[in-house]
Amino acid sequence: WAGVRWCDLGSLQPLRLGAELGKSVVYQETNGETRVEIKESVRGQDIFIIQTIPRDVNTAVMELLIMAYALKTACARNIIGVIPYFPYSKQSKMRKRGSIVCKLLASMLAKAGLTHIITMDLHQKEIQGFFSFPVDNLRASPFLLQYIQEEIPNYRNAVIVAKSPDAAKRAQSYAERLRLGLAVIHGEAQCTELDMDDGRHSPPMVKNATLHPGLELPLMMAKEKPPITVVGDVGGRIAIIVDDIIDDVESFVAAAEILKERGAYKIYVMATHGILSAEAPRLIEESSIDEVVVTNTVPHEVQKLQCPKIKTVDISLILSEAIRRIHNGESMAYLFRNITVDD
């Protein structure tokens, strides 16, 4: 491991590789500014910056940018960011009068000096196209599949559940690999007339708006979701809800209640990134969910103390192997074996 150093900004350390942690200091000044000091020579070396994203996302991003720029100006050969959960990945599409923040962050990281990124289960795989340098988007599903097979009793009586049609592809991938059935929750709770009178439907749609004379565009019909239905049989089965991120847990709690009503006798939730913001631990503890299984891409030790239903799967092994292969110039194909475009 000559010529490689680590700058650890997160909770994952390179212990599996037997490598030495680089000497650096990152701290906040009294005025709130972030300061980074590199305490050894990094000239001509491969530097891996390990940054797990804690509660304060914006501070973590600034630490990463400043660290990368400091290493760039110190003449490091390659600067590789190990970012298991990539922040702002949910803001990867244009919204009305909004912005694609994920694209902005990708440009900032490139400008700061990063030459490569290792991440895991991007919210949208197309995010890789935002970067001007290589991105290795690793998968946590092999570890979660192994957990299902080894830790869930009688998992052969389980059904994989997508809590919305958007998550159906991921759920289908799990179901096909485990040779299990698939169920999809579709629709939303219906509102009463009193609930509808809250301004969401105002101002009223006007068919004949001001247009160029002689031009009349067809009116786009508004979407209307049907009442909540479960497509697939969950009666007398173990329900395993799969997703990539679990943050605000209200939708997972609501899905668990529906599955209980449909006859599921045990409910698991599995996700790669356990952000678990705000009141998530309390809501999980009070819900029909029996267990929430997440990986350690995001630190969640405090949430585990608040809710014993939260379990952790360690994915440091695949990150360590990816780092080793990149440093030695080896192929990454082994880490993506049996993974298709839709996974």
Q: Residue 325 gets which letter from DSSP?
A: H
pLDDT higher than 90, residue 184: yes
What distance in Å separates the CA atoms of residue 148 and residue 143, rounded to the nearest whole number?
9
Domain ranges of the chain: 4-138, 141-189+226-313
Select from 160, 213, 148 the least CA-distant residue to 185: 160
| pLDDT (average), residues 221-247 | 89
- CB burial readout 175-211, b (16+ within 10 A) else e: bebbebebbbbbeeeeeeeeeeeeeeeeeeeeeeeee
What distance in Å separates the CA atoms of residue 329 and residue 333, rounded to the nearest whole number?
12
Contacts 24+ apart (CB under 8 A), 334-343: 335/136, 335/138, 336/139, 339/139, 340/173, 342/169, 342/172, 342/173, 343/139, 343/141, 343/173
Coil vs helix vs strand at 7: strand
What distance in Å separates the CA atoms of residue 79 and residue 96, rounded to the nearest whole number?
35
Mean pLDDT of the chain: 87
| Residue 203 preceded by cis peptide, ω within 30 | yes
Indicate the range of 11-15, 70-74, 226-230 predicted with least confidence: 11-15
pLDDT higher than 80, residue 4: no
Whether residue 285 contacts residue 276, with contact meaning beta carbons closer than 8 Å, is answered with no
| pLDDT (average), residues 51-59 | 88
Looking at the DSSP bridge assignments, the partners of residue 291 are 268
Whether residue 8 contacts residue 50, with contact meaning beta carbons closer than 8 Å, is answered with yes
Q: What is the structure's pLDDT at 8?
A: 55
Q: What is the structure's pLDDT at 222?
A: 78
At residue 197 the predicted structure's pLDDT band, cuts being 50, 70 and 90, is: very low
At residue 322 the predicted structure's pLDDT band, cuts being 50, 70 and 90, is: very high
| pLDDT (average), residues 273-281 | 92
Whether residue 84 contacts residue 139, with contact meaning beta carbons closer than 8 Å, is answered with no
pLDDT higher than 60, residue 324: yes
Q: Residue 12 is encoded by which pair of tokens?
A: 């994952």
CA distances from 188 to 105, 184, 224, 258 (A): 33, 13, 9, 11
- Measured N-to-C along each axis, helices 168-178 and 141-151 cross at an angle, to the nearest 10 degrees, of 50
For residues 131 and 207, the model is more confident at: 131
For residues 227 and 109, the model is more confident at: 109
Q: Residue 84 is encoded by which pair of tokens?
A: 């298991």
For residues 259 and 214, the model is more confident at: 259
CB neighbours of residue 279 within 10 Å: 13
What's the fold here for domain 141-189+226-313?
Rossmann fold (3.40.50)
pLDDT higher than 70, residue 254: yes
Domain 4-138 has CATH 3.30.70.1450: no
Q: What is the structure's pLDDT at 55?
A: 76
- Percent of the chain surpassing pLDDT 70: 87
Whether residue 254 contacts residue 226, with contact meaning beta carbons closer than 8 Å, is answered with no
Q: Residue 169 gets which letter from DSSP?
A: H
Q: What is the structure's pLDDT at 339?
A: 82
At residue 312 the predicted structure's pLDDT band, cuts being 50, 70 and 90, is: very high
Q: What is the structure's pLDDT at 198?
A: 47
Indicate the range of 83-87, 138-142, 208-212 predicted with least confidence: 208-212
Q: Residue 140 is encoded by which pair of tokens?
A: 């946590």
Tell me which residue has tokens 């405090």: 302
Select from 135, 116, 118 the least CA-distant residue to 127: 135
Same fold, 4-138 and 141-189+226-313: yes
At residue 54 the predicted structure's pLDDT band, cuts being 50, 70 and 90, is: confident
